[in-house]
Amino acid sequence: MSGRNTLVRSLHDVGLAAWFGGSLMGAVGLNGAARDEGSTDTESARISSSGWAKWTPVNAAAIGAHLWGGGGLLAVNAHRVSTQKGVAASTTAKTVVTAAALAATAYARVLGKKIELAASSDPQDAEKAAQHPIDTEKALRHLAWVQWAVPVLTGSLVVLNALHGEQQRPFEQLHGMWQHARSVTPLIP
C-alpha cells in the first residue's frame, strides 16, 4: 500500500482512545467518586448518572469517529484482508470485539438511563420511572459489570490494533501474501 491514510487512521485511533479512556475513567474515577461523595445509594447513583450523561455525547462522537475510521481503513486495506494470511482472521476478531463493545456500551447506557430516572428527584422523571419499574439493585449490579466490560473490550481492540500494525510491516506483508498464495495453490513448495 503506497498511499497515506492519516485522516482515517487518526479517526480510528483517537476515537478508540477516547472510548477506551472514557469508559475506564468512568468505571474507576466517576463511579468511585460518586460512591465516596454520595451519602446514600440513591445519591451516589444520581451523581454517577449525571457524570455519565454528560459523557454520552462525547462518547458517541468518539465511537462514531472510531467506526468511520475503521470503515475507511478496511476499504483501503481490502487487498491485504483478502491476500495476506492472518489479516482476515484478525479483522474478523476485531469486528466481533467491536460489536461486543458497542453492545456493552448501549446496554450500559440503557441501564444507566433507567437508574437515572429511578434516582431522580424530578417529578416527571419519577413518573417515567413508575411507568417502567425496575429492580434498582439488580440494575446496579448489571451496570457495574457492563461498565467494566466496555474498557476490557475496547482495551482488547487496542491490542488487536497493535497486531494489525505489526501485520503492516513490509516483511509481514510479503510473508503473509506468500503464505496465502501457497495455501490457495498447493503446487507451490
Cα-Cα-Cα-Cα dihedral sign, residues 35, 39, 42, 46: negative
Identify the pLDDT of residue 126.
67
Identify the pLDDT of residue 55.
95
Identify the pLDDT of residue 1.
42
- Domain assignment present for residue 186? The answer is no
Identify the pLDDT of residue 42.
82
Q: How far apart are CA 66 and CA 15, in angstroms?
A: 4
- Domain assignment present for residue 166? The answer is yes
Closest CA to 153 of 85, 81, 103: 103
**Which regions in the chain score pLDDT beneath 50?**
1
Helices (H) and strands (E) in the chain, counts: 8, 0
**Residue 4 φ/ψ region, left for φ over 0, alpha for ψ in the -120 to 50 degree band, beta for the rest:** beta
- Domain assignment present for residue 189? The answer is no
Identify the pLDDT of residue 182.
66
- Domain assignment present for residue 127? The answer is yes
Q: How many domains does the chain have?
A: 1
Q: What is the pTM of this model?
A: 0.82
Q: What is the pLDDT of residues 17-28, one digit of tens each?
A: 999 999 999 999
- Domain assignment present for residue 187? The answer is no
- Domain assignment present for residue 173? The answer is yes
- Domain assignment present for residue 188? The answer is no
- Domain assignment present for residue 144? The answer is yes
Query: Where in the sequence is the domain holding 14, given as residue range(s)?
Result: 6-181
Report the SS3 class of residue 133.
coil
